[in-house]
Structure 1
Amino acid sequence: MQFLRCVAAALVVAQHAAIELRARTGTPDLLSYWHDHGGVGVDIFFVISGLVMYLSTRRKPAPADATATAALFFRRRLIRIVPMYWFYTLSKVAIVLVLGSKAFAAGLPFLYVLGSLCFYPMVSPASGDILPLVESGWTLGFEMLFYAVLATVIALGLPRLKTATLVLALIYLVAQLFPDAVLSQFFGRTVLFEFLLGMGIARLWMQYKQPPAWLAVLLVAIAMAALFVHRPPLDRFVGLGIPSAMLVLGMAWMERFAWVRAAAGRLTLLGDASYSTYLAHGFIMPAAVIGGLKLAPHSYGFICLTAVMVATVAGCLSYLLLEKPLTRVLNARFGGSKVVASASTAPV
């Protein structure tokens, strides 16, 4: 999973590097492959999130401890997500207010900043799209909704996958009834169900930890072909979500191979730093692309690769110097005990 988190972050950064190069050069079809395919990193992230959350909540708490366990789960998710997101959001606020911004020439509305900080979908005054101030943070709105649903399910002692499926399906259906509302336009997308794919493959992984070796290889091969070779014009859940789930499951099953474990182990830092890379790259990308265009004006592929590498280094530094120590301090103070004493071993 660490390897895939690293790959997912790199794909998103590559897509945004292509977008930045297009904007700087005025060439609409430049690096079209990465522009069209890099976004799958988000789908991989969502599937991994569903898998990890299912596995991390697999022990069912005693009824008397259900509410406390749910609160602890959600608190730890907040500690993991919020501080770094707020740091980069407030950093961008400071940059806009101090240095100015053409995108926010009319000002930076307070309610928009507040909505961004609270993961509440709002229309950006810069682009007109439903995006927070740190644009890559749009995915965190889906993450926080998923965490809230899962915490509620745990508190009520209900089956996780079945209940989460019902709740997310209800949210999606309600969104279709009110298509003009901003919340509906944001959450009424099938990408919402990719968390459920992650939960589903977690169950498969728990039940069949040692399938035939050829099956894992076949899953990865099919997924790679569907995601990066031939992508038919399908709904995102079908065209990207399902192949991403196949990729995640196949890679999880391939951990039986020593060479896979060894190769993935070398990328542990990059996987750990993927969240910081995801948030920080938007700050690094313009400077990296501008510098690349000055040094090698027409080497667009090289500029894109360099931008990804620079953003990855920045993400690692952000993780080591800020995210890791901050998360450790907050978990020590607010994260609670690691195990609920009365939790049983039965799956939730």
Structure 2
Amino acid sequence: MGQEARLSRLDELRGLAIGLVVLSHVGPVFGEGGPVAALLFAPAWSVGVDLFFVISGLVVERSLRSLRLERGALEAASAFYVRRVMRIVPLAWCVGAILSIGLIIPGSGVEPADAKAAFAFISNAHWAPCFGGATGCGNAFAFGPFWSVATEMQFYLLAPLLVFLLPRRALVALAGLVLVVGTFTLRPWGGTLWTFRIDAIAVGLAIGATMGTSAWPRLAEHLRVIGNMEAAFWMSIAAFMLAILPPATHGVATAVLALMCGWIVTRATLRDDSVNWPGRMLRRLGGISYALYLIHLPVLALFNWSLGQFLEAPATATLSIAVAIGLSHVLTVAIGDPFRQLGRQWSNRTVREVSP
């Protein structure tokens, strides 16, 4: 089983993760009135972000190892940066430019600092005080989602150093240390330190490091393949538990959540090539998950503002999600995929030039 084939199956989990993230914003956008809205608003559906982080840690570790086998460490790191930048930056800046229109619209609530933080990929530091309860923040329905993109980009800067300089066992030990420290750190859900959590990324790195060792085949023999319904069940349990636990326990809860997501992702890599129709739908959703993550919240907020007085909340929410998915597909095809392919071509040029 090749690495590309194995990791491509994670698109189903990406689809599940983005579904949870979108669900996490339906309640705040459309209000808490009624039992349906309460059900959507109460659980911490943003646990989907942690699932994304674990997948990112795993994919980055395996990608760096693969590049290192083809070229020197400096060339591998350069190729990695080119691919990551071309995959993340053009689409983020395109969406950021569109959202910046709010700067000239009276009453939008969008602040110049919001846009600057998004374009500079420091939105986690910018929004952390706001998520922690500080007043005077901008419109979180516009640039708020950029916080996790900033976390990813900052992780990419350190990833080659961690993977190339640390042995695989040291990466696993580092992940354990991160989890232990996080367990004893007060990190209320949505608070300042919550935006800087690295538990899930560290777990993903550890999984990737373990997959490259001789112990992996023996470990895989004792793991059962996980289905999408089971993965959704466990993520739902995590969302409800985080919603009812007191803030003092969220350090432990976040660390346990990272381990749960790692357990789900590890088992998902064992799937065979057969995919049923729900899996195909999730893969398609996973393929546009980055664009959908960037635009879904402002689209939901815009539809609620413009159509909320004419349509019931369920109809408005359904229509806005459908439009967000359609726009995400267009953005992915028009911008995301071409720039990602261009990044791979540029990063491979060095190898072709030095080949005999």
TM-score by length of 2: 0.73
Flag the 1:238–1:338 CA change in 2: closer, same or farther, 3 A. farther
Number of matched pairs? 321
Matches of 2:350 and 2:38, distance apart in 1: 46
Flag the 1:103–1:225 CA change in 2: closer, same or farther, 3 A. closer
Given that 1:88 and 1:279 are in contact with CA atoms closer than 8 Å, whether structure 2 keeps it comes out as yes
Q: How far 1:244 sits from its partner (Å)?
A: 1.9
**Equivalent of 1:311 in 309, 316, 324:** 324
Q: How far 1:45 sits from its partner (Å)?
A: 0.5
Q: Which residue of structure 2 lines up, in the alignment, with residue 151 of structure 1?
A: 160
> In the TM superposition, what whole-angstrom CA distance separates every residue of 1:277-305 from its partner, at most 9, and x where no partner exists?
111113311233346534542xx445434
Matches of 1:257 and 1:325, distance apart in 2: 26
Is 1:194 matched up with 2:211? no
Secondary structure at 2:335 match in 1: helix
Q: Which residue of structure 2 lines up, in the alignment, with residue 98 of structure 1?
A: 104
**Equivalent of 1:162 in 146, 150, 170:** 170
Given that 2:17 and 2:51 are in contact with CA atoms closer than 8 Å, whether structure 1 keeps it comes out as yes
Q: Which residue of structure 2 lines up, in the alignment, with residue 211 of structure 1?
A: 221
Matched residues, percent identical? 19
Q: How far 1:139 sits from its partner (Å)?
A: 0.3
Moved more, 195-204 or 138-147: 195-204
Is 1:74 matched up with 2:91? no
Flag the 1:326–1:60 CA change in 2: closer, same or farther, 3 A. closer
Q: Which residue of structure 1 lines up, in the alignment, with residue 112 of structure 2?
A: 108
CA RMSD of aligned residues (A): 4.2
Matches of 2:257 and 2:175, distance apart in 1: 22
Flag the 1:79–1:127 CA change in 2: closer, same or farther, 3 A. farther
Given that 1:12 and 1:38 are in contact with CA atoms closer than 8 Å, whether structure 2 keeps it comes out as yes
Q: How far 1:127 sits from its partner (Å)?
A: 5.0
Q: Which residue of structure 1 lines up, in the alignment, with residue 147 of structure 2?
A: 138
Amino acid at match of 2:121: F
Is 1:31 matched up with 2:27? no
Flag the 1:321–1:103 CA change in 2: closer, same or farther, 3 A. same
Q: Which residue of structure 2 lines up, in the alignment, with residue 280 of structure 1?
A: 295
Secondary structure at 1:103 match in 2: coil
Matches of 2:259 and 2:72, distance apart in 1: 35
Given that 2:21 and 2:45 are in contact with CA atoms closer than 8 Å, whether structure 1 keeps it comes out as yes
TM-score by length of 1: 0.74
Q: How far 1:5 sits from its partner (Å)?
A: 0.8
Given that 2:15 and 2:286 are in contact with CA atoms closer than 8 Å, whether structure 1 keeps it comes out as yes
Q: Which residue of structure 1 lines up, in the alignment, with residue 238 of structure 2?
A: 227
Q: Which residue of structure 2 lines up, in the alignment, with residue 345 of structure 1?
A: none
**Equivalent of 1:328 in 332, 341, 344:** 341
Given that 1:2 and 1:267 are in contact with CA atoms closer than 8 Å, whether structure 2 keeps it comes out as yes
Q: Which residue of structure 2 lines up, in the alignment, with residue 51 of structure 1?
A: 58
Q: How far 1:251 sits from its partner (Å)?
A: 2.4
Amino acid at match of 2:348: G
